[in-house]
Amino acid sequence: MADAMEKMAKATAHVQSDFSAVRTGRATPALVEKLRVEYYGSEVPLQQIAGFSVPEARLLIIQPYDKGAMKAIEKAIQQADLGMTPSNDGVVIRLIFPTLTTERRKDLVKVVKGKAEDGRVAVRNVRRAVRQDLEKSEKDGLISSDELERAEKELDKLTHDYVAEIDKLFAHKEAELLEV
């Protein structure tokens, strides 16, 4: 059960991190911090070679720790196809987030809905795997049928709780996306 709980929690955390990467019209470092940047011959996440600040709701400032990484960071942002062009003043890189159109907001809600469904499926897959392990344990005589039934009820409650958590995260992200 503890293993199932841990895996379901990881699936929920993964969904939450996926949601943070979806743009909402507000500047957020989560959108770019995982971008891979070619830095002295190896690819590293942007968050390891630069600091972020959000002075305004729609402006993200990226300040590289090493000025030599400016071009590489700019290139990585352009290749990521975020729908914005970085502006470089030699010291920092500015990303100005354009306002989202209603149509684009609805498209993003569909993307988030798909990610939420993937999370629900992951949680249900954990339930299925644990249920198979429990049934095998009963067949092998390691647990009684009463213990199996009790464990399955507990597993179903756990699954329901994590699916509800994902639904709550989705509802919050949907509201955030549709907010003008």
Question: Are 173 and 111 in the same domain?
Answer: yes
CATH number of the domain residue 127 falls in: 1.10.132.20
Q: Are 110 and 165 in a shared domain?
A: yes
Strands of 59-64's sheet in order across: 50-56, 59-64, 93-96, 87-88
At residue 143, φ and ψ (nearest 5 deg) are -135, 155
Q: Which residues contact 164 (CB under 8 A, 6 or more apart)?
A: none
Residue 67's CATH number: 3.30.1360.40
Residues 91 and 133 in one domain: no
Domain that holds residue 11: 2-20+101-178
Residue-wise pLDDT tens for the chain (180 aa)? 788 899 999 999 999 888 877 777 677 888 788 888 998 889 999 889 999 999 988 889 999 998 888 999 998 888 877 777 889 888 899 988 877 788 888 888 888 899 999 999 999 999 999 999 999 988 988 888 899 899 999 999 999 999 999 999 999 999 888 876
* Same-domain check for residues 91 and 105: no
